[in-house]
């Protein structure tokens, strides 16, 4: 992978590095080995009973509770923010002995237009607002427009910015252009954290996913994220494994820890548990916290709450007993 930068053990924010093409030139992915690793994980790692309930509570704290619909309204966003503040019904938390845990979701994710509404609704909660930006989901608006959108969302109070990369740079292997684009996004973010969406289902190969991940981290990304949730193929566990391995490699090269956000298609508790097991085995317990792991999801929370009620009562309730708003 080329010369290694002086290794730092740090929890500081990733400042990015100079452009190192040699860090990506040698990356190759063995697809069959990746798929075999995921298959063995699914067979070996399950949690049951009170341990499952504990893992599901952890998963809630990692959710970026999201609404990205053309028919979003201020009322819908306020209701979503109320759910983020109290993601599980009080009677269920009481039964679990978690009534004083101050459990919340990791963030609320909205379009720029709804950032001020979400910021006001979450005031005093400590829950950050994340804004999707840069012409989400296609990312094909003019660069200056994309940068202006980032700055506007930060000015409106967004503490996290989820950007989309220009997929054409990956498909054409123009790594310098991708690096410069993401570095410009990082500069526009200022103090807000940058989550880079790769849209992995559109990148053509696992090797390209790996290389794009490394370039984004080099350019200063705080998180790398699988998908917009609007592609034909969104988060998958094989792709997630590759991205986690690249995060590990970047930490080896620089000492900086980068966050991971799978998004799209993670809609039930069982799938969330599989991702938690994958992250724990690949990255260790340090990554099982909102600073380094998020789930991009809208319907996941309802299913987790339903599973927790089943643990408490022994019965499944209807999904409409666990509304998002």
Q: What is the pLDDT of residues 91-129, one digit of tens each?
A: 999 999 999 999 999 999 999 999 999 999 999 999 999
Can you tell me whether residue 160 is helix, strand or coil? Answer: strand
Q: Which parts of the chain are beta strand (E)?
A: 63-66, 107-111, 129-132, 160-164, 193-197, 223-225, 259-261, 295-297
SS3 of 60-127: the string is HCCEEEECCCCCCCHHHHHHHHHHHHCCCCHHHHHHHCCCCCCCCCCEEEEEHHHHHHHHHHCCCCCC
Instruction: Evaluate if residue 235 carries a pLDDT over 90.
Output: yes
Is 261 designated active site? yes
Average pLDDT, the chain: 94
Report the CATH architecture of 22-321.
Alpha-Beta Barrel (3.20)
pLDDT given at position 10: 52
Laid out side by side, the sheet with 223-225 consists of 259-261, 223-225, 193-197, 160-164, 129-132, 107-111, 63-66, 295-297
- Lowest mean pLDDT of 38-52, 132-146, 243-257, 275-289, name the range: 38-52
Of the pLDDT bands very low, low, confident and very high (cuts 50, 70, 90), residue 65 is very high
Instruction: Evaluate if residue 6 carries a pLDDT over 70.
Output: no
pTM of the full structure: 0.95
User: What is the pLDDT averaged over residues 280-286?
Assistant: 96
Of the pLDDT bands very low, low, confident and very high (cuts 50, 70, 90), residue 2 is very low
| Active-site entry in 162, 195, 208, 211 | 162
Neighbours of 103 (CB within 10 A): 17
- Find where tokens 């053990």 sit: 9
- Lowest mean pLDDT of 59-68, 80-89, 161-170, 312-321, name the range: 312-321
Q: Which parts of 116-243 are beta strand (E)?
A: 129-132, 160-164, 193-197, 223-225
pLDDT given at position 82: 97
Q: Which of 299, 292, 157 is nearest to 224 (CA)?
A: 292
Residues above pLDDT 90, as percent of the chain: 90
| Centroid of chain to Cα 161 | 11
| Active-site entry in 83, 208, 211, 225 | 225
pLDDT given at position 207: 97
Is 162 designated active site? yes
| Active-site entry in 64, 257, 261, 303 | 261
């Amino acid at each position: 992978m080329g010369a290694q930068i002086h290794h730092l053990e740090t929890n500081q924010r990733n400042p990015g590095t100079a452009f190192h093409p040699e860090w990506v030139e040698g990356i190759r992915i063995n697809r069959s080995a990746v798929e075999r690793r995921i298959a063995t994980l699914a067979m070996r790692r399950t949690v049951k009973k009170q341990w499952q309930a504990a893992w599901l509570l952890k998963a809630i704290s990692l959710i970026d509770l999201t609404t990205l619909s053309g028919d979003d309204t201020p009322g819908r966003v306020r209701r979503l923010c109320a759910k983020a503040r109290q993601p599980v019904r009080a009677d269920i938390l009481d039964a679990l002995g978690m009534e004083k845990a101050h459990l919340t979701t990791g963030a609320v994710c909205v379009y720029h237009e709804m950032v001020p509404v979400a910021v006001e609704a979450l005031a005093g909660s400590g829950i950050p607002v994340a804004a999707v930006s840069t012409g989400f989901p296609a990312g094909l608006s003019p660069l200056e427009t994309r940068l202006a959108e980032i700055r506007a969302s930060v000015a409106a109070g967004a503490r996290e910015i989820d950007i989309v990369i220009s997929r054409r740079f990956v498909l054409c292997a123009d790594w310098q252009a991708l690096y410069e684009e993401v570095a410009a996004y990082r500069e526009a973010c200022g103090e807000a954290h940058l989550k880079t969406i790769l849209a992995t289902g559109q990148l053509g190969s696992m090797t390209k996913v790996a290389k794009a991940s490394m370039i984004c981290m080099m350019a200063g990304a705080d998180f790398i994220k699988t998908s917009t949730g609007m592609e034909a193929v969104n988060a998958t566990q094989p792709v997630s494994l590759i991205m986690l391995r690249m995060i590990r490699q970047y930490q080896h090269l620089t000492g900086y820890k980068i966050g991971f956000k799978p998004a799209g298609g993670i809609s039930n508790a069982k799938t969330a548990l599989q991702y938690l097991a994958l992250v724990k085995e690949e990255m260790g317990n340090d990554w099982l916290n909102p600073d380094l792991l998020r789930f991009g999801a809208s319907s996941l929370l309802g299913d987790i709450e339903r599973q927790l009620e089943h643990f408490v009562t022994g019965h499944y309730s209807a999904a409409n007993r666990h509304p998002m708003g």
